[in-house]
Structure 1
Amino acid sequence: MSVEFDDYRQVFVSDAPLMDLRAPAEFAKGAFPTASSLPLMTDEERAKVGTCYKQQGQQTAINLGYKLVSGDIKAERLARWCEFAKANPQGYLYCWRGGLRSQITQSWMQEAGVVYPRIKGGYKALRQYLLSELEVQIAGCELVLLAGRTGSGKTQLLQALDNAVDLEKLAAHRGSSFGALLQPQPSQINFENQLAISLLKRNGRGNQPLILEDECGHIGSVMLPFSLREKMRTAPVLILDCSLDERVERIFDEYVVARLALSLKLDAESGFQHFSDYLLSSLQRIRRRLGSEAHQQLDIQMRDALAVQERTGDAALHRQWITRLLRDYYDPMYDYQLSKRPRQVLFQGDQQAILAWLKARFG
């Protein structure tokens, strides 16, 4: 019994567990958030079958595949697939196009007494569905952007809204020169997949607009879809106000206190060195825009703060370079970008005022 499933929207809005049977290299290039890599063949095995297909035809290649995945190798992989299916009874399996790899796997699992549905059209169909829905969702939504100076708490405000999507969270990057996180950013494909799924999940929420942070065309290494960049270019904005002192404390907590704690948790022996390298290299990345003199002065302040912190554990000196960086670099850049691209300002105020305005305006 071959069980196929083609309600792609249901797959994504329900966060259905997915068994990805493609080779590891295919999975690394692009996958879905709830997918687990449980390949039918390794990269090397797939390459051998592919070469055989080109040189000797399909049937010979299929025979080679059965030979490569047999005996103990087949038994081990089959056990993993069945274990996944039993742990995730609401899930699905797929290969690249819903062809032989998923059909063979599904058949072997059925022989072992486990019936598990496969996605019709495989990864390719799911990916095409998300790309299509991404454009539909972008075109059909009312968009409002949240702007504000660096450190004003835009992320925290977005997290308090059920009609917002946190682009920086999806991109695993805070969007500034100091925004790199310890975990790597997703591939462009994975970012687009996650964005499309996030937009699908918020669809149908009455007259509430989609609220995004006011970003440039990219967040770290990932690019926003062209259609979204174009829509953001003319979208109205909410401006989040916050005092310089509050912003300094927020940046201090995020980029110094929390970052060091996480670095030490991951590597107790070298964590402080990794933390120091992160701060110094982040500052180095904006050296040209700062100018050599300003960069040199900030570099000295940062190194002094790091030296005192390493020696005594006191991190207070970091507030000096953070204050200067915000006041003399990020704030003027924000003012310039806001003036260069004048747009309709719907409301301006602190976090509580914006939340109250949104509730009164959209319910």
Structure 2
Amino acid sequence: MNDGTDYRAILTADTPLIDVRAPVEFAQGAMPAAINLPLMNDDERAAVGTCYKRHGADAALALGHRLVTGDTRGQRLEAWKVACLMHPQGYISCARGGQRSHIVQAWLKDAGVDYPLIRGGYKALRQAAMQATVEQAQKPAVLIGGCTGSGKTLLVKAHPQGVDLEGLAHHRGSSFGRTLTPQLSQASFENHLATDLLKKDASRWVLEDEGRMIGSNHLPACLRERMAQSPIVVVEDPFEVRLDRLREEYFEHMWQAFRSRYGEEAGWREYGEYLHHGLFAIRRRLGLQRFTEFAALLDSGLIEQRRTGSTEAHFAWLAPLLNDYYDPMYRYQLEKKADKIVYRGAFNEVAAWLTA
């Protein structure tokens, strides 16, 4: 069995990790297969940290044992035991493989459960993930470009060597790009990306032609450098086809997602706010007059959708938004990369080119 130091094998296999760091640490960065079952909550960890600074390690350790005792210790121990039973091939992990993971391991052993730990903890896994990304980014890549609604993400997801950066970021990249799944912290996004790269270990990457940022997450510098040097294939589908894709993705699917999450009434309010927020985010670039016109058309589209179930009324603002804003912006960006374009074609033609 892995002794807790073959970090790449652990990441590639989606090996379960019982992460015993405090919730605030876990939120700042975690591995994809980790579950957070902390030894100390945030307040307890803060108190122990303060004690350590003022009175030293021994006093901090003693305080930790006083804080996590009795029913509190019993409840946390029971949660670890259940997790060990559910994930017999897993590991305990703390920040650096130090006291916290050793304490949890010892308590489990006293309770009759022998469970291994990650040597070096999250920090070692994180370093391995970052190094893996650097190495994988050295491989050649091809980028899929095209105006909004061209189906670029569909092509990436369908390709065995494709890496869905937007899926990993939980964001579709545009001002309307947020999903109902919150974005991860930057470190967690990078960890998920590294794990995906390790799993695929492709000879060549197929990626969407992204900007530096995907929502609040930014691409690692090594990957941005590779993408800047990579050839681009451009999807050129008819405007009507693109509109229909966007209608399905941003109106039909998003409305269903909001309704499933929040229910009929609250879901409708959330869905309307989502569309208005996306438009509001680009108001300065549109100009106040254009933004006001589009917002009124959006409201009309929502009324019609609520009344009839049809989403086509949204085309009254979506079509000019593409024509006046998104398409000129992307074409301008693409012109600066014209020397890297190696192929242009419709969706099916680009799919065939990528396969060939």
* TM-score using structure 1 length: 0.93
Matching residue of 2:33: 34
1:133 and 1:241 mapped to 2: Cα distance?
A: 34
Preserved CA contact (<8 Å) 2:150 2:347: no
Matching residue of 2:19: 20
2:66 and 2:287 mapped to 1: Cα distance?
A: 63
Preserved CA contact (<8 Å) 1:237 1:343: no
1:175 and 1:143 mapped to 2: Cα distance?
A: 20
Matching residue of 1:285: 281
1:60 and 1:288 mapped to 2: Cα distance?
A: 56
2:350 and 2:306 mapped to 1: Cα distance?
A: 40
Matching residue of 1:316: 312
Matching residue of 2:255: 260
- Equivalent residue runs for 1:219-230 within 5 Å: 219-230=214-225
Preserved CA contact (<8 Å) 1:38 1:81: yes
2:229 and 2:60 mapped to 1: Cα distance?
A: 54
Preserved CA contact (<8 Å) 2:140 2:226: no
- Which amino acid letter does the alignment assign opposite residue 255 of structure 1? Y
Shift of 1:4: 4.6
What's the CA shift string for 1:222-253, capped at 9, x where partnerless?
11112222222231101112111111011011
Matching residue of 1:164: 162
2:95 and 2:217 mapped to 1: Cα distance?
A: 24
Alignment root-mean-square deviation, CA: 1.5
- Which amino acid letter does the alignment assign opposite residue 65 of structure 2? Y
What's the CA shift string for 1:108-145, capped at 9, x where partnerless?
1111111111000011111111112211211x210111
Structure 1: give runs of 5+ residues left out of the alignment. Answer: none
Preserved CA contact (<8 Å) 1:52 1:61: yes
Deviates more, 1:214-223 or 1:319-328: 319-328
1:287 and 1:73 mapped to 2: Cα distance?
A: 51
Match of 2:348 among 339, 349, 352: 352
Deviates more, 1:270-279 or 1:18-27: 270-279
What's the CA shift string for 1:26-84, capped at 9, x where partnerless?
11111111110101111121122222222222122212222222222212111111110
- Equivalent residue runs for 1:144-293 within 5 Å: 144-203=142-201, 205=202, 208-268=203-263, 269-293=265-289
Shift of 1:272: 1.2
Preserved CA contact (<8 Å) 1:235 1:343: no
- Which amino acid letter does the alignment assign opposite residue 190 of structure 1? S
2:177 and 2:245 mapped to 1: Cα distance?
A: 14
1:72 and 1:303 mapped to 2: Cα distance?
A: 54
Match of 2:298 among 299, 302, 306: 302
1:343 and 1:254 mapped to 2: Cα distance?
A: 32
Instruction: Count the aligned residue pairs.
Output: 354
Partner SS, residue 131 of structure 1: helix
Preserved CA contact (<8 Å) 1:6 1:120: yes
* TM-score using structure 2 length: 0.95
2:342 and 2:242 mapped to 1: Cα distance?
A: 23
Work out the percentage of aligned pairs sharing the same amino acid.
45
What's the CA shift string for 1:324-358, capped at 9, x where partnerless?
22222211112111112323222222233223223
1:152 and 1:60 mapped to 2: Cα distance?
A: 61
Shift of 1:176: 0.5
Partner SS, residue 50 of structure 2: helix
Preserved CA contact (<8 Å) 1:234 1:343: no
